[in-house]
A and B are shown apart, each in its own frame.
Chain A
Amino acid sequence: MSAIADDLRRERAGPGRQRNRRRANFVIFLGPAIVLTILFFVIPVIIDVVVSFTDMGRSLQITGFTTEQYEKIFGGDRRLVQVIGLTLLYVFATLAIFNLTFALVLALVTTATNRMTGNFFRGVWLLPRMSPSVLYILLWVWVINPSEFGLLNQILMSVLGLETPIDPLNEAPVMLIIIANGFIGASMGMIIFTSAIRAIPEHLFHAARVDGAGSMAIIRHITLPALRWPISFVTIYQTLSLLVSFEYILLLTEGGPFYDTTVYALYIFRRAFDTGQYAYGAALAVFIIALGVFFALLGWRFFDMQKLLQRPRIEVQ
C-alpha cells in the first residue's frame, strides 16, 4: 500500500539482526530521555512524597513518619486559598496576555515586515530571556524604583508631567510580576510561531491575494489555522512552566508586599526555606506535581494533541 506500511511490515518480519538494530535504536534515541525523566522527575517525586510523610524540620532530620503535614494543609493553613487564587490569576493572565497573544502579535508583525527588521525586533525581544535572571531583575528594580530616579518615574514625571513618583512594587505588585515574567515568556511563543508561519507554503498567500483577501483575512484563514498545533503546544508548555517557576518573583518582590505576589511555587519555597519546614514544603509540593500532571492531561485532551502525533497521511519520500 504505502511505503510506510511496507517498511513496518519489513521491520516486523525482519530477522534477528534487524530486531537487534531496533533495540539499539530504542536505546540510542529514547534512552537519554528516559534516563533524564527518571533522574529528574520520577526519583524527585518519590523522594518528595516520602519526605511529605515525615517530620523533617530545619535540621533536615527525620524522627518519625506522620500525616501531620497533610492535616495542616487541609486544616490549619489559612494562606492557601489566597495563594492558589493568585497562582491561577498569575498563570492565566501571563499566558493569555504575553505568552500567547503578545507572542503571536510579535510573530505576525515581525514576519510581515522585511527580514532584517523582523530579525532585529525578534532579537530585541529575546534579550530578556538571554540575560541572567539576576541582571534582568536588577534592571526592573531600577525601572520601578519608587523615587524620581526610577526609569518609569522619570518618564512619567518628565514626559507625562506626573507630580509625585509612583511605587508599582507596592501599588500594583501582581501586575508587575505578570509583566516582568511576560516579557520573558513572550519570546518562546514568538520563535515557535515565527517558524510555523515561515513553514506555510508561500503559494497559499499568493493565491489568497489573487482571490482578493486582505491582510486580516489572510491571518484569519491561512496563518492562524496553520498555527493551531504550535499554539496548543505553547499553551500547555507555558502553563506548566509558569506554574512551577518563581525565581523572577522571588528576586523582584520576594513574594511581597505581605503575601501579595506569593504564588504557589514560591509559597512552597518560603515555607520550606524561610522557616525550615521541609516536610510541610514537600507536602505542598505534592499538590503542585498533581496539578501539573492534571493541567498537562487536560491540555492534551482539550487540544486533542493525540491527533498531532498521528502518522502523516501523505507519503513521505
Chain B
Amino acid sequence: MNRILVALAGATLLATPVLAEDVTLELWSRQDTSGPLRPGNVVKAAERLNAELEAEGSDKRVIVEVRESPAPGFDEDALQLLRVFGIGEGPDMFIQAHEWICAFQQDGFVLKLDDYLAKYPEHFGTIFPSLWESGKCPDGTYAIPQDAEARMFFYNKKLLREAGYDDAFIEAMPERTMSGDLTMDEVVEIAKSVVDKTDAEYGILHRPSKGPDYLMVFQTYGNDFVDPATGELLLERDKLAEAFGWFEKAVADGVIPANNTSMEWDAIRAEFYAEDNAAFWMYGIWDLGSRAFPTYGLPEDEEAFFKDWGWIAMPAAAKGGKPSSLTHPVIYAIAADTAEPELAVRLLGHASAVDLNTDHAVTTTHLGIKPEQLDDPRYAAAWPLARATELLEVTKFLPNNPQFGDLNGIIYTAMQGVETGRLSAEEAADFVIDEAEATLDNVMVK
C-alpha cells in the first residue's frame, strides 16, 4: 500500500513541471492611519519578488500575511511585540519606531543585517547614509529605514496677524529660527499675545500622549539623553530642569493648557486646524498629508497654505543657540528566528523600491529614504516634503538605546506633573532622575 502511495506521489511530482512551494512570511504592523503603505508596500513587494524568483527558476513563492496590532502608539506596540516574541509567537518581519530596535536586539529577537545589506546593494545601496544610524545597535545594523520626517511647531498666521504681528515678522520666523535668533521664550511670548489679544483660547498645544515631539524641547535645551562615549543613558539635571521650566512657564502664562495631556487627539487637531483656537501645534510634517489636508481641508496648494499657515523648527534655547528638529524614522526589521531570512531581506528590499517608497512618502507626507526619489516628479510636486527637508540640517534622532522608551515614559509623566501643577520644574528633574535610577540600569547622572 505504502509503495503504491509513494509511486503515485512520485508520478505526480514528475507530471507537474515545477510545484511552487509557498513560503508565508508574517509581517507585524501597527494599525496606523499615518502610514498604511508601510505594510502595504511589503505586500506589493511580494509580487515583484515572486516574479524574480520565477525568473531565477526557484520553486519558492512568497505570501505576505500582515498581522495588525491595534496598539494606540509605537511604544505600546513595541511592548506588545516584545511579549509576543517572548512567548515564541513572533512574526517573521516587523515594523517599529527606530528607537526600540535595540530592545529587540538585546533580547536576541532581531536578525543582524550587515552581511545581507552588503549582498544586495541594488536594494539598499543608495539609502541615505545618515538614515542607517536609526537602525544601528552597538554591534551592527539591525533594521532598514522605511521613512523619515521632520517635526516642528506649526503656526496659524491668521491668529498672529490678529494679535498684531505684521507679515514681515511672521514670514521671517522660520529663518530667524534657523539662524538661532528666535528663541523658545519668544515663542511663548508670541503665543501669549495671541491668547491675550485674540479670541483664541490656546497658545501652544502638544500631543496628549507619550511620544517623540515634546522631546524636541528637551533637545533644544541640550538634553541628548545618551553619553556619546559609552552609549549609556545620560541625564543632566540642570538641562532637564531648564526644559521642564519652559513647560512650567508656558502653563503659568496661560499658553499651554494645564490639561493638555488629558485632551483628546482629535479635539486638539480641531482646535488648531479647524477652529482657529490655537496659535502653535507641536507635531510633525506627516500630519498635513494624513489629517490636515484630507480631514480639516487645509489648502493643498503651497501658496494658499503658506498664506495662513507656517512652521518653524524648535527654536534655540537662547539667542544665538542652535535650533533643533527631530526625525523619527520607522524601520523594517526581520526576526532572528525566521525560517527564510534571505527571502525576507529581499522582500523588504523590494518594499524599499524608489516607486513604492515614494507612494508612501507623497500620500502621507513622509520624507523618502533614497536620493533617487527626489527626481520623481510626484515627489517634487509634493511641496511639504521639499520644504520639510530644509529642517534636516538641524534634525536629530532619538537615541537607539534599549531603555530609551522607558525613559521617555518617565519624562512624559514628569511633564504631565509640571503642566498640571503637581511638580515644579526642579522637582520634575529630580523625579526623572529618581525614577530612572530606580527602574533603569546604568543611568549616568550629571
Contacts and interface: CB of A to CB of B under 8 A. Distances in A.
B417 to A, nearest CB: 4
A277 B82 CA distance: 12
B262 A169 contact: yes
Nearest to A280: B439
Interface string B5-35: 0000000000000000000000000000000
Contacts of A61: 86, 107
Interface string B71-115: 000000001001101110000000000000001000101000000
Nearest to A60: B86
A257 B422 contact: yes
A78 B85 CA distance: 32
Given A257-B261, A257-B422, A60 B417 contact: no
B406 interface: yes
Interface in A34-60: 58-60
Given A76-B438, A275-B406, A257 B262 contact: yes
Given A78-B438, A167-B259, A277-B439, A60 B87 contact: yes
B401 to A, nearest CB: 14
Contacts of B82: 58-60, 276
Contacts of B87: 60
Interface residues of A, number: 24
B103 A58 contact: yes
Interface string B403-425: 00010010001001100101100
B417 A258 contact: yes
| Most-contacted residue by chain B among A58, A61, A72, A169 (CB, 10 A) | A58
A59 B439 contact: no
A274 B420 CA distance: 21
Contact of A59 (B107, B259, B406, B437): B107
Interface string B256-279: 001101100000000000000000
Contacts, number: 68
Contacts of B52: none
A259 B414 CA distance: 10
A256 B259 contact: no
Contacts of B413: 256, 258-259
A256 B409 contact: no
B260 to A, nearest CB: 10
A257 B262 CA distance: 8
Contacts of A258: 413, 416-417, 420, 422-423
A215 interface: no
Contact of B422 (A59, A60, A260, A273): A260
A274 B422 CA distance: 21
B420 A146 contact: no
A59 B83 contact: yes
A77 interface: yes
Contacts of B167: none
A170 interface: yes
A258 B428 CA distance: 11
A146 B258 CA distance: 11
B438 A77 contact: yes
Contacts of A280: 439
Contacts of A275: 79, 406, 409, 439
Contact of B86 (A59, A257, A260): A59
B29 to A, nearest CB: 19
Contacts of A259: 413, 417, 422
Contacts of A58: 79, 82-83, 86, 103
A26 to B, nearest CB: 39
A170 B420 contact: yes
A280 B85 CA distance: 20
B175 interface: no
A258 B417 CA distance: 5
B301 interface: no
B166 interface: no
B122 interface: no
A169 B86 contact: no
Interface string B200-233: 0000000000000000000000000000000000
Interface in A65-91: 72, 76-78
B77 to A, nearest CB: 13
B183 to A, nearest CB: 28
A170 B256 CA distance: 14
Given A256-B416, A258-B416, A258-B423, A60 B83 contact: yes
A61 B438 CA distance: 21
A262 B421 CA distance: 17
A178 to B, nearest CB: 18
B59 interface: no
B85 A59 contact: yes
Contacts of B434: 78
Contacts of A78: 434, 438
Interface string A258-270: 1110000000000
B437 to A, nearest CB: 8
B103 A257 contact: no
Contacts of B438: 72, 76-78
Interface string B379-412: 0000000000000000000000000001001000
- In the A-B complex, list the 10 residue pairs whose CB atoms are closest, starting with the nearest: A60-B86, A59-B86, A257-B420, A258-B417, A258-B422, A76-B438, A59-B82, A59-B107, A58-B82, A170-B259
Interface of A: 58-61, 72, 76-78, 146, 167, 169-170, 253, 256-260, 273-277, 280
6 contacts: A59-B107, A60-B83, A256-B262, A257-B259, A257-B262, A257-B420
Given A60-B86, A167-B258, A258-B416, 10 more contacts: A59-B83, A59-B85, A72-B438, A76-B437, A170-B259, A170-B262, A170-B420, A257-B417, A257-B420, A258-B417
